[in-house]
């Protein structure tokens, strides 16, 4: 099952997200992918970033994914864990992930 949405703060668009999970198959970790940056038409791929996390329900925790070797580099820069961890962007990245997880009511199965 896939969910999509936008991330906003105080009426300003921050980015977008999409999720992927196999309903009823909690052994497959669900993922949240987030796109941030300039996604306007004609924007350079270097101005667009994508990062992702997977959710381990048993541990009740998220793990950043290594995405640099995935995706279409002509569209965006795909980030690895180390591109996010211990950087000024990390706090924002985790806040966005938390907001998606906590505020998107369509993710109820992830919480139960």
For residue 61, the model assigns a pLDDT of: 85
Q: How far is C-alpha 95 from the geometric centre of its chain's CA atoms?
A: 11
For residue 26, the model assigns a pLDDT of: 63
| Res 112 pLDDT > 70 | no
Sign of the CA dihedral with 18 first, then 21, 26, and 29 last: negative
For residue 24, the model assigns a pLDDT of: 67
> Tens digit of pLDDT for each residue in 11-65?
999 999 999 877 666 667 889 999 999 999 999 999 999 999 998 877 778 899 9
> Tens digit of pLDDT for each residue in 76-109?
999 999 999 999 999 999 999 999 988 888 877 7
| Res 68 pLDDT > 80 | yes
| Res 2 pLDDT > 90 | no
For residue 30, the model assigns a pLDDT of: 85
Q: What is the 3-state secondary structure (H, E, C) of 30-98?
A: CEEEEEEECCCCCCCHHHEEEEEEEEECCCCEEEECCCCCCCCCCCCEECCHHHHCCCCHHHHHHHHHH
Nearest to 94 by CA among 23, 28, 36, 47: 36
For residue 22, the model assigns a pLDDT of: 72
């Amino acid at each position: 099952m896939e969910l999509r949405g936008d991330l906003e703060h105080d009426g300003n668009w921050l980015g977008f997200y999409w999720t992927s999970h196999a309903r009823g198959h909690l052994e497959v970790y669900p993922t949240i992918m987030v796109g941030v940056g300039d996604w306007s038409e004609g924007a350079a791929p270097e101005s667009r970033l994508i990062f992702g996390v997977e959710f381990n329900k048993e541990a009740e925790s998220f793990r950043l994914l290594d995405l640099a070797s995935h995706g279409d580099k002509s569209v965006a820069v795909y980030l690895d864990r180390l591109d996010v961890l211990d950087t000024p962007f990390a706090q924002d990245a985790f806040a966005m992930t938390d907001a998606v997880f906590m505020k998107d009511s369509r993710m109820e199965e992830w919480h139960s």
